[in-house]
Amino acid sequence: MHTLLTRTVGVAVLAIVGATVGCGGERNTAESLPPSQRGPTISEIQNQATIEDVSKTVAFTVGDPDTPLEQLRLSALSSNPAVVATNSIIFEGVGAERKALIQPTLYAFGRTTITIRVSDGLGETNRSFQFVVSPVTEPPIFNSNAVWQKVEFSEPDGAANRSQPTGAQTNQTSAAAGSGR
Ligand SMILES: [Ca+2]
């Protein structure tokens, strides 16, 4: 009887010690995680424009009332991958000051809606803006024949309709014949 009581007490003590260790371990794990109960913020971003094949850097700020800013995660989405692919949006910067480097698709132009998301692991906030890529007009320098033909046919016709049609046409015809021979 006496021996049995001693054994029972011993087991009970061991059980209490074990429970305390387990409880303390759980508490430490919980304390290492930030509360993150309030969501992150992101500043407004104006609509952006660039020209074909020219990248654009867009600056913005992020914040969070209860999460270290280094723990915020940024991601992006482009509604029109033909103009800007989602993986062509690269983030730079640390802390509150962030930048998105946006590279349009090669030779592409048009419009897309870009959404930037900031997450603290539990909640997220996003901001959308329009991104317009204008086409580049190729300079006609390399096709010199086409440029000279366009000038000869268009300018004399316009001048002839406004004044002295016969004289203008005669001058132009003789000039063209002279240069041709
Ligand atoms: Ca938070």
pLDDT above 60 for 77: yes
Domain residue spans in the chain?
1-29, 41-134
Residue 167 alpha carbon to ligand 1 centre in Å: 82
Residue-wise pLDDT for 87-135, tens only, equals 999 999 999 999 999 999 999 999 999 999 999 999 999 999 999 999 9
For 112, residues 6+ apart whose C-beta sits below 8 A from its C-beta are 78, 79, 80, 81, 83, 84, 130, 131, 133
Residue 59 alpha carbon to ligand 1 centre in Å: 21
Query: What is the pLDDT confidence band of residue 37, given thresholds at 50, 70 and 90?
Result: confident
Residues around ion ligand 1, judged by CB within 5 A, are: 36, 38, 64, 66-67, 120
Helix axes 144-162, 165-180, angle to 10 degrees: 160
Instruction: Please tell me the predicted confidence (pLDDT) of residue 140.
Output: 63
Q: Which CATH class is domain 41-134?
A: mainly beta
Residue 122 alpha carbon to ligand 1 centre in Å: 7
Q: CA-to-CA distance for 109 and 117, rounded, in angstroms? A: 24
Residue-wise pLDDT for 154-171, tens only, equals 444 544 444 444 444 444
Q: Which residues of 107-121 are buried (b: 16+ CB within 10 A; e: fewer)?
A: ebbbebebbbbbbbe
pLDDT above 70 for 3: no
Neighbours of 79 (CB within 10 A): 15
Residue 69 alpha carbon to ligand 1 centre in Å: 9
CA-based torsion, 9, 15, 19, 22: positive or negative: positive
Mean pLDDT of the residues in the chain: 75
Residue 86 alpha carbon to ligand 1 centre in Å: 25
Residue 62 alpha carbon to ligand 1 centre in Å: 11
